[in-house]
């Protein structure tokens, strides 16, 4: 867990922290350099009820290269 995640989840209930993690894990990106797929939680971010800008300069957890990345919300299964 990243520093921001530790600070944020420390001030809310376990239930809320779990909600944040579940929501954040729905946002995924693919590294342009090595094609590694990861979610926003993996890189220490919290995305909760995000409405607009999900662009961020992130460091790939696999290859360590920084790049501007767009997090796509994972499609929910129909059933
Ligand atoms: Zn990478």
For residue range 32-50, list pLDDT tens digits in order. Answer: 999 999 999 999 989 888 7
Contact by Cβ (8 Å): 43, 69: no
Answer whether residue 79 is part of any domain. no
Please tell me whether the overall predicted TM-score, pTM, comes out greater than 0.85 for this model.
Answer: no
Write the burial class of residue 4 (CB in 10 Å: 0-12 exposed, 13-18 middle, 19+ buried).
exposed
CA of 16 from ligand 1 middle (Å) equals 30
Answer whether residue 50 is part of any domain. yes
**Range of the structural domain that residue 53 is part of:** 3-73
Distance CA 74, CA 1 (A): 21
Answer whether residue 78 is part of any domain. no
pLDDT at 79: 62
Q: What percent of the chain has pLDDT over 90?
A: 71
CA of 64 from ligand 1 middle (Å) equals 6
CA of 31 from ligand 1 middle (Å) equals 5
pLDDT band per the 50, 70, 90 thresholds, residue 53: confident
pLDDT band per the 50, 70, 90 thresholds, residue 25: very high
pLDDT band per the 50, 70, 90 thresholds, residue 52: low
CA of 44 from ligand 1 middle (Å) equals 16
Residue 55's DSSP bridge partners are 70
What's the Rg (C-alpha) of the chain?
A: 13
Domain count across the chain: 1
């Amino acid at each position: 867990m990243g520093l921001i995640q530790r600070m944020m989840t420390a001030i809310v209930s376990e239930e809320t922290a779990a909600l944040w993690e579940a929501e954040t894990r729905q946002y995924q990106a693919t590294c342009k350099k090595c094609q590694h797929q990861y979610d926003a939680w993996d890189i220490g971010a919290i995305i909760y009820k995000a409405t607009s800008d999900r662009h961020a300069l992130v460091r790939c957890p696999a290859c360590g290269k920084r790049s501007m990345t767009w997090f796509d919300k994972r499609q929910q299964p129909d059933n």
